Structure 1
C-alpha cells in the first residue's frame, strides 16, 4: 500500500488462451474534431457537453433476435471458399470462438441499422455524403431505424439508393477503423465501462440534491458541470466527507468531463477541486480518485516517471505502458512527460528517452527505446481500403451493402514467411540468441504483419512464438517480448492477466490495480472483464470485492461495473 501522493501538479506470464482476431465492426460513432485524442475512445465533445455524448456501440448484444444475420453467418461458415470471410485463425478456446461469432452477428446488425438510417435520409431528400460522419451517427443514435429483412430487401431493390448508401457505408466504416487503430492498434471493437454522462435520469442523486437545495428539477436534462461541482462542494464542506457523493461523480463521468469539473469548480468557488479532495481523502482511495482526475496521457507519463525516479526501477510498469500504447498515445505521452518531470517550470526539451536509457540496461533498454519512439508501422488508409470488402450473401453471391475486413490482405505473407525464418535462425536454430533480430521485428511491424509472422513461425518450428521467447531469452527482455506478443494477440486478455496477478496470493498490488483500471476504464474494460471471467472463472467485480476494502473497493467496483 502507498499513501504519499506525488501526482503531476494537478494544476491543470499467464498461460491463458488468446482469442482469435475478430471481424471489424459496424459503422462508427462520430469523429470528434474538437479536442481529438488517441486516448479519447468515447469521443466526448468538450466544446458542447450537452449534446456531445457518443460512444462506441457494444461489441456484444446479448439477447437480440436476428435470424437473417445469424443465418447469413452460419451460411458463410459453410459456404464455398470464395464467399467465406478470410479471417486469420489463432488457437483459441470454444468459448472465445462462440464469443467471436456473437460479436460478428452484433456488428452486422449495427451495419444493417445504419444502412437503413442512411436509406431513410436519402428518401427524405437529405444527402448523407454532405454531412460529417458524426452527424450521420447522431441521426442514427437519436432516431434509430431498426433493420428487418423486409426493409433491407426494399433498400436493395432501389438501385439508386442502394448504390448511394453503399458508398456512404464504406466511407464511414473506413474512417471508424482508422480511429480504432489510433486508440488500440487494431481494427477490433472495444468498449469502456465508463462513458460520458449524458443526462440526469429519474432518481439521480445529483438531480435530487439540486432540486432540494436549488429548487430546480434537472431530471431528463443534459449533464451540467456546475450542478456536479455544487454537489461535490456540499459533500466536502463541514465535518466529515460524503464519500458516496464523490464515488458517484468520479465513477460515472468520463475523463474529459472530470477535466471540465476542475475548471468549473475553480470558476464558481475560486478553489482548487483537487486540493479540496486531497484534503478529505487518504490512502489508496485518495490515490485512485487523484488518478481519475488526471488526463490520460499525463497519467501515463506520471506512471513512467514514478517507475524510473527514486530507488530502483518498476520494470513491469514500464512494460505495461510502453509496450501496449499506440503510436498516437506514445506521442501524447512524450509531449506530457517534460512537464510531469519539471512540475514547477516548463521543460524545453524532453527527457523521455534519456530517463529510460539511464534507468535500464542491455537488450531490455533497447526494447523500451524502440517502443518509446512511437513509430511502429501501421496500416495506411490506402491499404485498408484494399482490404475492406463488401459482405456478400453466401447463397447467391448477392451484395448486402455491409462491409468487413479481409485480414489476409493486411499482411504480406511472403514477408511473414521470411521473417519467421529470420526469427528461427536468430533463436531456435543457433547456439545463443540474436536478440537484435527479435527487437527489430517485434518492435517495428504492424499488428497484422506480426500476427501473420507468428502464424508462419508455428508452421516452420512447430512451436508457438511464446515458447521460443521463453526458451531463448531471459529477464526483463523476455518479459517485454512476451508482453508484445500477448498484447498484439489480445490486449484485453493481457490486462486481465495483469489484474489477476495484482490480486492473487497474499497481498495486493494496489498500484498496478489502480493503473490498469484507471487507464483502461474508457477504452476496453468490457472486453477485459470478459477475458478475466474466462481466465479465473470469477468476475473482476467479485475479485475486487474479496481483495480490497472500504471506499477503495467501492470506487474500483463502480469503475469496472458488476455486469
Structure 2
C-alpha cells in the first residue's frame, strides 16, 4: 500500500505529465498540492528540478536568505505601524493586536512579526502587479499566488506601497485579495504547526547545481557534461552516489552532501531512479556501506515523514519496556492532520510486508501504557483537537491601520483576542483550579479533557486567566498536582502550545547535556523537524544555552554522524 507523500510531489515535464504549476499546463491533482500536514513550505518543482520559492539555498553549506528579506530594508513600515497601534491610547486597545504572552519569547515574536510584515508587503506588490497586467488574482487559488510571490521576489519600500495605495480602484481589490490569500496561508500553517506563526526548515529542495558543486564537478569529469546552472537531476545524484559506494571504501562526504541538501521528497525520488538505472536498491547499498548511529541517521532521512513518525511510535512500544518520552514527543506535538497521516501509515509499518486490514494504533498505545497517561495519549491519538475555523479566522484577520490618520495600510494581521472565547477561558480556568489547587487530590479527568481538546489559542487564553485566578503559572500547578508520565505529558502539551520550537530546543539540550548522548532522540528530532521549524528551534536553542545547536553537536558527537547532523541543522 502506498501513501500520499508527506511533501509535495514535483511534476516532470513532457506530454504525459503536468508542467510547472501554477504557471502553465493543467494543475496537478488536489491531493498533490499541500496534501501533507508535514510540509511547512509549499515547494513547487519543474522539469527534473525545482522552481520552488526562491530560497537562495543553492547547495551544501550555502547561506540561506529568507525570500521575504528585503535588501537594505531594516524595519518594515507595517511593523512600525503595528507598534504604534498597540501603544496608542486612542481607538485601538493596547492589547488588541498583541500576540498572547505565552506564544513565544518576546524576541522571537519581534523577529517573526518583522518577517511577516515584509512578506505581506511583497504579496501586496505582487497582487497589485497582477491586476495592472490584466490578470484577476481572485480567479486563482491562494497557493498559486503564494508561489508567485516567492518565484518573483520584489524589492519593496514604503514609498512603493504608498504609491500603489494611491491607485484606489486597484487598491480596494488588492486589499480583498490580500485578506483571502493571507487567511488561506494561516490555515495551512495551522495544519503544519497548530499555530499561525511562520516556521521554516533548514533543509529545502535542492534547486540547481551552482558553480563548484561537487556533483556537477564529478559529472563534468566523468560524463563530459556541464551541469552548472542546470536544475536538479536525480539521475546525476544517483550516478554520483553509485560511484561513492563502488569498490573498496565509501566516499562518506558524497553521501553526506546529497542526503543533507536534498529534501525528503527528492530522497524518495532518488530511491526510484537508482533502482531504475541500476536495478539495485539504494537503501540496501547505503546500509551495507555504513554503520552505527551514522547509518541510523541516513536511513531515517530516506523514510517519508509520516511513516518515520509511525516507525518511531512502533519502536517506542514494541520490545522491552516503553519509551514514554518518544510517545510524548510525537503524539503530543503533531497536528490533527499529521496524526491522521501517522494512523494511515502505522499498520504497514507494524506489519511490514503483510497487508494490515485494521490499524492497531490505539490498541498498541493502550496495551503498553496505563492510567491517566494512557488516556492522555489515546486522546492525542484521535487527532481531533479543536481548530480555528475559516470563518472565525477571517473575522479575526484585520487590516493594520495607521493610528495617526486612521488610514488602512492594505496589510493584515491577526487580532488574537478574537480567536478565543474569553468567558469560556475564565470558566475553564476556574474548572482547572477546582480540579487541582482548590481540592485535596487532583481531578485528572478535567485536566485531560481541557488540555486534549481545546485549540491552541483557547488554551493560551485559559492559561492566562488561570494566572490571574491563582497567581500561579499553569506549569507550576501541573508540577504540584500531577506526577509521573501524566505530568510529563501535560507539561509537553503546555510547552508545545506556548512555543513548539522551544519545546524541541529543550529536548535537544537534554539529549546532549551531561554524561553521554541520547542519539536516538537527537536523530528523531533533527530528522522530523529539519523541514518544518528547525530555524526557529535553533533560535530558541541559542537563547536557551547561549551556544548554537551546531556547536553543541560538534562538542557532543563525532565523525560522520557529527558531520551529517551539522549539515542538517546548518551553521548559524
Give TM-score scaled by structure 1 length. 0.91
Alpha-carbon offset, residue 47 of structure 1: 7.5
Residue 495 of structure 2: aligned partner = 486
Residue 476 of structure 1: aligned partner = 485
How many Å separate the matches in 1 of 2:79 and 2:184?
26
How many Å separate the matches in 2 of 1:247 and 1:546?
19
Maintained 8 Å contact 2:203/2:568: yes
Moved more, 218-227 or 469-478: 218-227
Alpha-carbon offset, residue 92 of structure 1: 9.1
Residue 53 of structure 2: aligned partner = 54
Maintained 8 Å contact 1:417/1:453: yes
Maintained 8 Å contact 1:393/1:400: yes
Residue 40 of structure 2: aligned partner = 41
**Structure 2 residue runs without a partner (length 5+):** 6-21, 56-65
How many Å separate the matches in 2 of 1:42 and 1:264?
24
Alpha-carbon offset, residue 91 of structure 1: 6.3
How many Å separate the matches in 2 of 1:228 and 1:73?
47
Maintained 8 Å contact 2:69/2:118: no
How many Å separate the matches in 2 of 1:339 and 1:433?
39
Maintained 8 Å contact 1:308/1:314: yes
2:245 to 223, 232, 236: 236
Alpha-carbon offset, residue 87 of structure 1: 1.9
Residue 296 of structure 2: aligned partner = 287
Alpha-carbon offset, residue 217 of structure 1: 1.0
How many Å separate the matches in 2 of 1:360 and 1:462?
34
Kindly report which structure 2 residues correspond to 1:195-234, keeping only aligned pairs within 5 A, or say none.
Answer: 195-234=204-243
Q: Find out whether 1:145 has 2:144 as its counterpart.
A: no
Residue 21 of structure 1: aligned partner = none
How many Å separate the matches in 1 of 2:190 and 2:262?
24
Moved more, 424-433 or 58-67: 58-67
**Structure 1 residue runs without a partner (length 5+):** 1-7, 13-28
How many Å separate the matches in 2 of 1:189 and 1:59?
12
CA-based RMSD: 2.3
Q: Deviations over 1:470-502 (max 9, x none)?
A: 000000000000000000000000000000000
Residue 5 of structure 1: aligned partner = none
The DSSP-based 3-state class of the residue aligned with 1:365 is helix
Residue 274 of structure 1: aligned partner = 283
How many Å separate the matches in 2 of 1:303 and 1:453?
32
Q: Find out whether 1:498 has 2:507 as its counterpart.
A: yes
How many Å separate the matches in 2 of 1:198 and 1:419?
49
Give TM-score scaled by structure 2 length. 0.90
Q: Deviations over 1:331-384 (max 9, x none)?
A: 000000000000121101000001011100000000000000000000111111
CA 1:292–1:246: 2 relative to 1, 3 Å = same
Alpha-carbon offset, residue 118 of structure 1: 1.5
| Greater relative contact order, per chain length (Cα 8 Å cut-off, separation 6+) | 1
1:391 to 374, 389, 400: 400
How many Å separate the matches in 2 of 1:478 and 1:46?
44
2:366 to 354, 357, 362: 357
Residue 307 of structure 1: aligned partner = 316
The DSSP-based 3-state class of the residue aligned with 2:294 is helix
The DSSP-based 3-state class of the residue aligned with 2:398 is strand
Residue 102 of structure 1: aligned partner = 111
Q: Deviations over 1:136-189 (max 9, x none)?
A: 234333333322222212211111100111111111111111110110011110
How many Å separate the matches in 2 of 1:185 and 1:67?
26
Q: Deviations over 1:10-66 (max 9, x none)?
A: xx9xxxxxxxxxxxxxxxx99984252111223334785534423885688797334
CA 1:540–1:213: 2 relative to 1, 3 Å = same
How many Å separate the matches in 1 of 2:200 and 2:368?
35
Q: Deviations over 1:303-342 (max 9, x none)?
A: 0000000000000000000000000000000000000000
How many Å separate the matches in 2 of 1:512 and 1:332?
21
Residue 63 of structure 2: aligned partner = none
The DSSP-based 3-state class of the residue aligned with 2:165 is helix
Residue 161 of structure 1: aligned partner = 170
How many Å separate the matches in 2 of 1:203 and 1:460?
62
